[in-house]
Structure 1
């Protein structure tokens, strides 16, 4: 079962992930919300739409904008609406 780990903590774990552009997207109900802080960062993908970000905080350390999601993706990416993906040193074990 895929899981996302950073700083020794399991940030997310699910067997219902979607893989898009070589990134594992975890369902919203699979993330451990205690580690997530809303970010004001937004980026735009030409085919997925506008992404929003979370910073991740574990053990007093913050990994800024280490997780992203598409709250209202374009039609081509509807399968990842609300799903969360990771980067910036977050290890995803599949």
Structure 2
């Protein structure tokens, strides 16, 4: 079985310095969005307070996850099942995205 990188990362297509810079910016932005998801989910998991305050944390987590999914799609990554499992994104957050 032969493995090859995604077509957008083929060496012949990444020889332009501008393309390299764009790919680097996409990767950095995706990493930043992922960090925001991790922090929002950690705050949600650690929270012990009123239901109103929890709703605000759920809204923030849903916004962070939504932004992360959009950034992934801009990078050509269309399937989110793996990251939902990896980050442990709860259904109550996904419901706010319309994903479940």
TM range (shorter): under 0.3
Structure 2 length-normalised TM:
0.25
User: Radius of gyration: which is bigger?
Assistant: 2
Q: Which has the higher strand share?
A: 1
Q: Which has the higher helix share?
A: 2
